């Protein structure tokens, strides 16, 4: 069974904003002749990478709720120009909407077992994905999502 990672999506107020940011970064890399891939940089390297790569996802907490995920395709530790160990969590560019799941703020990232992860929004739940971010947030605050 694949292991996942849970992370706060700081600076984004909606899944749509995250999608636009990822598209912008990929286009920027394409224009600069760099490899067209998306990653998230973190300081800590997951010690259980073999359980994550290729099957696990990074679940994003946006505005206090898990709202989406991205498949983790690789984990690359490196040392930055200042000599600090860092890690690139390489992600599939596709962002998959999930059912909303409330989460309290935390620092860094956490492992997320498959049984604790919210389900993807399926065919029967497309109405939720089509709602405006404001309406989804309001419904979540009322405990209706």
Report strand pairing: 38-42 vs 109-112: unpaired
Cα pseudo-dihedral 130, 134, 137, 142, rounded to 10: -110
Report strand pairing: 57-62 vs 65-79: antiparallel
From first to last of its 145 residues, the chain has per-residue pLDDT tens of 689 999 999 999 999 999 999 999 999 999 999 999 999 999 999 999 999 999 999 999 999 999 999 999 999 999 999 999 999 999 999 999 999 999 999 999 999 999 999 999 875 555 666 666 677 667 666 666 6
């Amino acid at each position: 069974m694949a292991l996942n990672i849970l992370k706060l999506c700081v600076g984004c107020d909606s899944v749509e904003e995250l999608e636009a940011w990822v598209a912008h970064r990929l286009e920027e890399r394409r224009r600069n002749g760099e490899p067209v891939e998306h990653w998230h940089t973190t300081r800590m390297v997951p010690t259980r990478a073999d359980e994550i790569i290729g099957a696990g996802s990074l679940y994003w907490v946006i505005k206090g709720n898990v709202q989406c995920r991205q498949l983790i395709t690789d984990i690359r530790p490196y040392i930055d120009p200042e000599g600090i160990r860092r890690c690139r969590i390489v992600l599939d560019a596709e962002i998959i909407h999930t059912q909303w799941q409330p989460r309290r703020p935390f620092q860094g990232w956490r492992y997320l077992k498959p049984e604790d992860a919210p389900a993807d929004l399926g065919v029967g739940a497309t109405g939720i994905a089509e709602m405006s971010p404001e309406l989804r947030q309001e419904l979540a605050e009322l405990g209706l999502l």
